[in-house]
Amino acid sequence: MESAEKGKAELISGIESDARIEEEAIIKDAEKRAAEKRKYSEKKIEALLNDARSEAQRQAEAVKRKILSGVKLELKRNSMSVRSVLIKEIMNRVENKLASMAGDENYRSVLINWIVEAFIGLGAEAAQINASQKERALIDDRLISEAKEIIHIQTNKQAQLKLSDAEPLKYQGVVLTAADGRTAFNNQVKTRMLRNQREIRTLIYNAVLADDRKE
């Protein structure tokens, strides 16, 4: 009986020992899994943080580019506005300067050049000249003769020119009308400025605003 009890005690002790070993193994395995899970979670968290940092940096760069683009556009608009004002002011000064020359004797050569240019542009054999009241006073037979001579030298044509009987022009410059009245060439100052606007703007830009291109 005593032997049976002893055997039973040993069996229970062995079972308890095996249970403890199994328990320890389960605990160690659980701890290992928990550690691995924590490690995985930490890596995942770090990866998410890195992604968040990258996205934040990307968005910050995008915002920066947008801001810089807006600033550059605004500067460009302001620059273009300043240029337009400056060019308009200079062109107005040119018009005023030409207007102040209208009563000058040396202005005759300006009128001759405009008449020659208009006649060649008109492409007619005969034309009538009209101009403002002040300019018409300068367009005499001698001036017309000089214009004819230059036209002959440049085109080898014998131009027929005379002062028009029409009302004087309101603005400075000349208008040549073909003898048949069908075509005309407007060589008034305002029209000339518009016709040569691109060239004038380029000349003004190169002369006055060249420094802007260096910036």
88 vs 13 pLDDT, higher one: 88
Indicate if the pLDDT at residue 104 is higher than 80. Answer: no
Q: Tell me the two tokens of residue 158.
A: 């014998």
- What's the rounded mean pLDDT across residues 8-19? 64
pLDDT in tens, 56-86: 567 657 766 776 676 566 656 666 676 677 7
pLDDT at 118: 95
Calculate ∠ Cα 150-153-155, nearest 5°: 100
Please say whether the beta carbons of 160 and 125 come within 8 A. Answer: yes
pLDDT at 48: 56
CA distances to 83, 91, 177 from 72, in Å: 16, 28, 50
Other residues' Cβ atoms within 10 Å of the Cβ of residue 99: 14
- What's the rounded mean pLDDT across residues 128-152? 94
pLDDT bin (cut points 50, 70, 90) of residue 96 is: confident
Q: Collapsing DSSP states into helix, strand and coil, what is residue 23?
A: helix
- What's the rounded mean pLDDT across residues 13-33? 68
Lowest model confidence (mean pLDDT) among 42-46, 141-145, 161-165, 194-198: 42-46
pTM equals: 0.56
pLDDT at 202: 77
Q: CA 189 to CA 114: how far, in whole Å?
A: 10
First and final CA of the chain: distance in angstroms?
111
pLDDT in tens, 147-159: 999 999 999 999 9
